[in-house]
Structure 1
């Protein structure tokens, strides 16, 4: 999945880059104009400057001219470096704003924007879109027993394994604590989603090797579909979250799809 280019810029960084680019363009224009003038007028500019400085050696003109020459080179290099540094700064800002530092996965901000884009795509193609909430079962016990460092390592390994499961079919985002959100790109066949859910469930049956320990974990999964369960991003997330908590109440490692009954319960709890 490609990273949206709009997440690589901020209003301030855009202004900084425009200023740096403006400085560079001005320098290029001046050099180009001087080159054109000397070429069109058949003016031997360098030779004339040299002869002029030789006839006025007491003015130290050659040193002054070469000082301006070196200054122009330094200014050009500085302009190029400014553009490069701003791009690097943009990447750091984008990563901090839109990615989770522990797992390297997109965070809630990125996921929400991506979900809106996928909803537009699903509406245009008249196709189905799946939103999946995933929450660890009894994760507090892991932190209490082995410590938060082991808990963080477990989250990271689960994240890596889930990424392998979904591959390029959508986005995996960590939205907080031990909660993940999966946004599966518009599907035309429900069998594709079923295979993906089964693959995600298989992730929890494999052991995780952390700090010399072999750990396992289960997670509850809630699934909501566009347009059958909801047609807006907000309602889809609520439907998937409701289904996930229903899965938790059913035991560990369970999957529940949003249904009309659950949707009605959610409407009663969250009246608009």
Structure 2
């Protein structure tokens, strides 16, 4: 019986033997649909059997013996689709080729048994030669299809990444750039040739050392790492990125590379900063509002307690503001409050805080006061600053202030208590004739 006939007649038995053999050889095959696995091998064998029955010229025989073929025949469709299919299933090229080797071994082993020790004829030797050449040709076409498909996928992948606005690049296991996309080269102002082979610490990154350590950590732990970074662009405006390191893990569980992607969040950060500013600042004057003032006051009280110093709170009520607001109108009154805020801000140290609580009420927090003398000087400076006339839309407006002062820890140790006592002291100053300050408790001599 010719080998082509034997293959077709013994097809089911060959496939059963080959399936068991392939499963022990190929880990991916164990995860495949068994029916799909058998059907694919069946198609390959049928194509090889058909190839054995076709007439072959002497030239074609010589070319095949050299592993060459002038063109792809109609019997090569299974081998071509085999390479593509195995790539899609995650097979390596070696595993793809090993499938053919297992199939070859199964066919030859069963055919040898069928000969029952009889002498092998020249025809049968010729069939074996042609069978091996057909298998080799099928391997070649499958490997070519596999490689072409993989290269095409790589080109498509590279094209997609090249036009993405996100930064995308990969690292080798020694933490060096292996691939960078167009957005990355534009941000770092280097070509891909200049970047590949370098490490993060070799380029101009303010946190390059930290990022390099994160790459090493991802390789060691096999876990993702997420974070944010700031990069000063050539235009001088800082760019903010949300980034993610992801390990690429091979079938054996080892890390073979690290992928890094980064998304520009500069606009989002700006919106978040704007929203935070609106939530914590007075929209009219730009000063911290009551919410932010309370946070700072509690923070400063705790800090003073640790340092053994004192925090002074000045509660300021603007005298005669209501009269000016009624006389000039609300728009002019708003402008006047902005002028008052500017003068208050210029009367204190950079480390201290001024806030608008609402209406014409303001507060000043003075940090780390040891004696009352510096507090008195600030209060006097504020009174002097507000005593100068304000020019509001060609109108000269005269204002003054009543200031109440309370200190920690002698007057209060909690923020609410301190505000209440500074407020009481302010009413004392207002009742004493305005344009002056008053301590909640009489300062020691």
TM-score between both structures, scaled by the size of structure 2: 0.43
2:348 equivalent to 1:148: no
Report the Cα offset of residue 190 of structure 1: 2.2
Which residues of 2 match residues 243-254 of structure 1 at below 5 A? 243-254=425-436
What does residue 201 of structure 1 align with?
383
What does residue 407 of structure 2 align with?
225
Gaps of 5+ in 1: 1-51, 261-272
Report the Cα offset of residue 118 of structure 1: 0.6
Aligned-partner Cα distance in 1 for 2:264–2:275 = 16
What does residue 287 of structure 2 align with?
105
Aligned-partner Cα distance in 1 for 2:370–2:437 = 21
Which residues of 2 match residues 19-38 of structure 1 at below 5 A? none
What does residue 157 of structure 2 align with?
68
CA change 1:146–1:116 in 2 (3 A) is same
Report the Cα offset of residue 119 of structure 1: 0.7
* Superposition misfits of 4+ residues, deviation over 3 angstroms: 64-68, 77-82
Which residues of 2 match residues 173-184 of structure 1 at below 5 A? 173-184=355-366
Moved more, 248-257 or 175-184: 248-257
Report the Cα offset of residue 231 of structure 1: 1.2
Encode CA deviations 1:8-41: one digit per residue, 9 max, x unaligned. Answer: xxxxxxxxxxxxxxxxxxxxxxxxxxxxxxxxxx
Which residues of 2 match residues 116-265 of structure 1 at below 5 A? 116-259=298-441
TM-score between both structures, scaled by the size of structure 1: 0.69
What does residue 90 of structure 1 align with?
272
Q: CA RMSD in A?
A: 2.5
Aligned-partner Cα distance in 1 for 2:432–2:155 = 81
Task: Report the count of equivalent residues.
Answer: 206
Larger Rg: 2
Report the Cα offset of residue 201 of structure 1: 1.0
Which has the larger helix fraction? 1
What does residue 205 of structure 2 align with?
none
Gaps of 5+ in 2: 1-143, 168-182, 184-241, 243-261
Higher relative contact order structure (alpha carbons within 8 Å, sequence separation ≥ 6): 1
